[in-house]
Amino acid sequence: MVVLKDLAIFQLKMEMKMPDYSRAGEILKCSECNEEIQSTHRHDYVTCTCGAIFTDGGDDYARYGWNPGSKFEILKEFGVQYEKPDEL
Protein backbone atom coordinates (compact mmCIF):
# COMPACT_ATOMS: atom_id res chain seq x y z
CA MET A 1 0.00 0.00 0.00
CA VAL A 2 1.43 3.34 -1.05
CA VAL A 3 1.01 6.09 1.48
CA LEU A 4 0.50 9.63 0.22
CA LYS A 5 3.64 10.74 2.07
CA ASP A 6 5.73 8.08 0.26
CA LEU A 7 4.32 9.17 -3.08
CA ALA A 8 5.22 12.80 -2.36
CA ILE A 9 8.81 11.82 -1.46
CA PHE A 10 9.07 9.76 -4.65
CA GLN A 11 7.84 12.67 -6.77
CA LEU A 12 10.28 15.03 -5.04
CA LYS A 13 13.21 12.70 -5.77
CA MET A 14 12.15 12.41 -9.39
CA GLU A 15 11.96 16.20 -9.75
CA MET A 16 15.40 16.61 -8.13
CA LYS A 17 16.82 13.86 -10.39
CA MET A 18 18.41 12.06 -7.47
CA PRO A 19 21.12 9.54 -8.40
CA ASP A 20 20.07 5.91 -8.47
CA TYR A 21 22.05 3.94 -5.90
CA SER A 22 19.99 0.77 -6.26
CA ARG A 23 22.85 -0.98 -8.12
CA ALA A 24 25.89 0.43 -6.43
CA GLY A 25 28.25 -2.44 -7.22
CA GLU A 26 31.34 -1.63 -9.22
CA ILE A 27 31.53 -2.31 -12.93
CA LEU A 28 35.06 -3.31 -13.88
CA LYS A 29 36.49 -3.90 -17.36
CA CYS A 30 39.38 -6.31 -17.78
CA SER A 31 42.09 -5.06 -20.15
CA GLU A 32 43.15 -8.63 -20.96
CA CYS A 33 39.84 -10.25 -22.03
CA ASN A 34 37.82 -7.00 -22.47
CA GLU A 35 34.96 -8.38 -20.34
CA GLU A 36 32.87 -6.10 -18.09
CA ILE A 37 31.91 -7.62 -14.73
CA GLN A 38 29.60 -6.50 -11.91
CA SER A 39 28.60 -7.99 -8.59
CA THR A 40 24.84 -7.57 -8.23
CA HIS A 41 24.20 -8.71 -4.65
CA ARG A 42 25.90 -9.52 -1.35
CA HIS A 43 28.45 -12.36 -1.63
CA ASP A 44 28.11 -12.41 -5.45
CA TYR A 45 31.76 -13.16 -6.29
CA VAL A 46 32.32 -12.53 -10.01
CA THR A 47 35.49 -13.02 -12.07
CA CYS A 48 36.20 -12.15 -15.68
CA THR A 49 36.59 -14.92 -18.26
CA CYS A 50 40.40 -14.99 -18.06
CA GLY A 51 40.38 -14.79 -14.22
CA ALA A 52 42.55 -11.67 -14.02
CA ILE A 53 40.08 -9.52 -11.99
CA PHE A 54 37.20 -10.05 -9.57
CA THR A 55 34.52 -8.07 -7.75
CA ASP A 56 32.28 -8.93 -4.82
CA GLY A 57 29.68 -7.36 -2.54
CA GLY A 58 27.05 -5.86 -4.83
CA ASP A 59 25.48 -2.86 -3.13
CA ASP A 60 26.27 -4.08 0.41
CA TYR A 61 30.05 -3.67 0.39
CA ALA A 62 32.79 -2.97 -2.13
CA ARG A 63 35.59 -5.39 -2.84
CA TYR A 64 37.59 -6.01 -5.98
CA GLY A 65 41.03 -7.28 -6.86
CA TRP A 66 43.36 -8.42 -9.61
CA ASN A 67 46.26 -10.70 -10.37
CA PRO A 68 49.73 -9.13 -10.21
CA GLY A 69 50.45 -7.35 -13.49
CA SER A 70 46.81 -7.38 -14.62
CA LYS A 71 45.21 -4.13 -15.76
CA PHE A 72 41.59 -3.07 -15.53
CA GLU A 73 39.35 -0.01 -15.68
CA ILE A 74 36.67 1.02 -13.19
CA LEU A 75 33.60 2.00 -15.23
CA LYS A 76 31.24 2.56 -12.29
CA GLU A 77 31.91 2.83 -8.58
CA PHE A 78 29.40 3.21 -5.72
CA GLY A 79 26.61 4.62 -7.91
CA VAL A 80 28.89 7.14 -9.66
CA GLN A 81 29.11 6.79 -13.43
CA TYR A 82 32.38 8.03 -14.83
CA GLU A 83 32.41 9.72 -18.21
CA LYS A 84 35.43 9.22 -20.44
CA PRO A 85 36.81 12.45 -21.93
CA ASP A 86 36.81 12.67 -25.73
CA GLU A 87 40.50 13.51 -25.81
CA LEU A 88 43.20 12.97 -23.23
Q: What percent of the chain has pLDDT over 90?
A: 34
Report how many domains make up the chain: 1
Determine how many CB atoms are found less than 10 A away from the CB of residue 53: 24
Q: What is the pLDDT of residues 39-65, one digit of tens each?
A: 888 888 999 999 999 998 887 888 889
| Residue 2 within any structural domain of the chain | no
SS3 per-residue string spanning the chain: CCCHHHHHHHHHHHHHCCCCCCCCCCEEEECCCCCEEECCCCCCCEECCCCCEEEECCCCCCEEEECCCCCEEEEEECCEECCCCCCC
Residue 68 has pLDDT above 60, yes or no: yes
Q: Please provide the average confidence, as pLDDT, over all residues in the chain.
A: 75
| Residue 52 within any structural domain of the chain | yes
Q: What is the pLDDT of residues 12-22, one digit of tens each?
A: 555 555 444 44
| Residue 7 within any structural domain of the chain | no
| Residue 62 within any structural domain of the chain | yes
Task: Considering only residues 77 and 19, tell me which one the structure prediction assigns the higher pLDDT.
Answer: 77
Structural domain for 55, as ranges: 20-81
